[in-house]
């Protein structure tokens, strides 16, 4: 069930350049079904910011009633978030979307690929996948100061970090790293900028995979048609907020829409 609730901020701290980790607590957490779902956060006081901001659930625990988001400071909304202090409350709508369906996967060689702020939803995913599968993670960042969660991923997956400028880990894009392991992958998961997702979709077109897609959102619940993406289904489109944000790699055709 989707709830709208004030969650309390347990902590809110910088973990990399312009990147924050926020821990939230409240009953809404009990509604989370899968990694890859997201929450829609109200920004600011009153009605000055009419659109909520979507952030992936990076981790969650039904025991502690807590969830984690990791966010980059981009514009007004994320800047406001970064200034909220512990013990205060933020208004959250969620959990939204369907997340990564992984129940059918066991004893597989699984690849998890994330770029920048596409990394967060893969963390809870990797934790869960690793219980029954062999997981490799490839995480791409701008440069050394923007790297986060490497050690945490390392606990559950054989993790390779790549940076665009080579200042840490491998130099180049995640696609460069994937090139070398293409044949050893049974199933893949990816989240990141559209251009990265498109490239991976093309590169791994013979492998099954799930992609988590971003789009500017209005309602977040499927009512406003802001977040549609062309798709290979009866209607010809999907709503990212409601039908996604995770899609099967052969359902949405990203490399076409970016060319």
Partner 1 sequence: MNLSVDLGGLQLKNPIMPASGCFGFGKEFSQFYDLSELGAVVIKAATGEQRFGNPTPRVAETPSGMLNAIGLQNPGVDKIMEQELPFLDSYDTPIFANVAGSTLEEYVQVAEKLSQHPTIKALELNISCPNVKEGGIQFGTDPNLAYELTRAVKQVSKKPLFVKLSPNVTDITELARAVEEAGADGLSMINTLTGMAIDKQTRKPLIANETGGLSGPAIKPIAIRMIHQVREQTDLPIIGMGGICTADDVIEFLLAGSNAVAVGTANFHNPLVCKEIIDELPEALKRYKFTSLDELREVAVS
Ligand X SMILES: Cc1cc2nc3c(=O)[nH]c(=O)nc-3n(C[C@H](O)[C@H](O)[C@H](O)COP(=O)(O)OP(=O)(O)OC[C@H]3O[C@@H](n4cnc5c(N)ncnc54)[C@H](O)[C@@H]3O)c2cc1C
Ligand Y SMILES: Cc1cc2nc3c(=O)[nH]c(=O)nc-3n(C[C@H](O)[C@H](O)[C@H](O)COP(=O)(O)O)c2cc1C
| Site residues, ligand FES (CB under 6 A) | 217-220, 222-227, 239, 241
Q: Are 217 and 139 in contact (CB under 8 A)?
A: no
d(CA 138, CA 142): 14
Binding partner of residue 106 among ligand FES, ligand Y, partner 1, none, CB cut-off 5 to 8 Å per kind? none
Task: Give, as one character, the DSSP assignment of residue 142.
Answer: S
In the complex, minimum distance from the CB of residue 234 to partner 1, in angstroms, rounded to a whole number = 11
Residue of 118, 121, 140, 220 that binds partner 1 (CB under 8 A): 220
Instruction: Considering the complex, state which of residue 24 and residue 96 has its C-beta at the smaller distance from ligand FES.
Output: 96
- Interaction residues for ligand Y, span 189-218 (CB under 6 A): 218
CA 189-141-95 angle, 5° bins: 50
Instruction: Considering the complex, state which of residue 89 and residue 225 has its C-beta at the smaller distance from ligand FES.
Output: 225
d(CA 88, CA 198): 39
Q: What SS3 class is residue 208?
A: strand
Residue 7's beta-bridge partner residues? 90
Instruction: Considering the complex, state which of residue 162 and residue 213 has its C-beta at the smaller distance from partner 1.
Output: 213
Instruction: Considering the complex, state which of residue 104 and residue 235 has its C-beta at the smaller distance from partner 1.
Output: 235
Residue of 35, 99, 115, 245 that binds ligand X (CB under 6 A): 245
- Strands annotated E in the chain: 3-16, 19-25, 38-41, 53-56, 59-61, 66-72, 89-96, 109-115, 134-141, 158-163, 170-171, 187-191, 208-212, 228-230, 237-239, 246-248
- Interaction residues for partner 1, span 22-81 (CB under 8 A): 42, 47-52, 76-77
Residue of 224, 230, 233, 248 that binds ligand Y (CB under 6 A): 224
Residue of 60, 71, 148, 156 that binds ligand X (CB under 6 A): 71
What's the token pair of residue 216? 């500017």
Q: Are 163 and 171 in contact (CB under 8 A)?
A: yes
CA atoms within a 13 Å half-sphere pointing along the CA-CB vector of 110: 25
192 sits near ligand X (criterion: CB under 6 A): no
In the complex, minimum distance from the CB of residue 20 to partner 1, in angstroms, rounded to a whole number = 20
Residue of 7, 12, 23, 54 that binds ligand X (CB under 6 A): 54
Contact set with ligand X (CB under 6 A) = 38, 51, 53-56, 69-72, 74-78, 117, 120, 214-217, 245
| Residues in contact with partner 1 by the rule CB under 8 A | 1-2, 4, 42, 47-52, 76-77, 93, 215-230, 235-237, 242
């Amino acid at each position: 069930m989707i709830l709208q609730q004030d969650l309390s901020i347990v902590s809110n701290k910088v973990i990399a350049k312009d990147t924050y980790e926020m821990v939230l607590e409240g009953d809404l957490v009990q509604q989370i079904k899968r990694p890859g779902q997201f929450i829609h956060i109200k920004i600011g006081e009153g009605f000055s910011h009419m659109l909520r901001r979507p952030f992936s659930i990076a981790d969650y625990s039904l025991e502690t009633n807590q969830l984690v988001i990791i966010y980059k400071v981009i514009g007004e909304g994320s800047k406001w978030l970064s200034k909220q202090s512990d013990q205060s409350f933020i208004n959250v709508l969620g959990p939204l979307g369907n997340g990564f369906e992984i129940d059918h996967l066991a004893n597989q060689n699984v690849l998890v690929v994330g770029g920048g702020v596409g990394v967060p939803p893969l963390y809870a995913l990797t934790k869960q996948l690793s219980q029954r599968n062999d997981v490799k993670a490839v995480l791409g960042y701008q440069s050394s100061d923007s790297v986060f969660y490497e050690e945490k991923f390392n606990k559950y997956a054989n993790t390779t970090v790549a940076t665009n400028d080579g200042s840490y880990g491998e130099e180049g894009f995640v696609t460069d790293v994937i090139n070398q392991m293409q044949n050893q992958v049974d199933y893949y998961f990816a989240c990141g900028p559209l251009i990265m997702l498109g490239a991976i979709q093309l590169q791994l077109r013979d492998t099954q995979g799930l992609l988590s897609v971003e789009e500017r959102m209005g309602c977040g619940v499927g009512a406003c048609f802001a977040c549609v993406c062309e798709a290979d289904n009866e209607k010809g489109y999907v709503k990212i907020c409601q039908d996604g944000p995770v899609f099967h790699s052969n359902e949405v055709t990203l490399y076409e829409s970016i060319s």
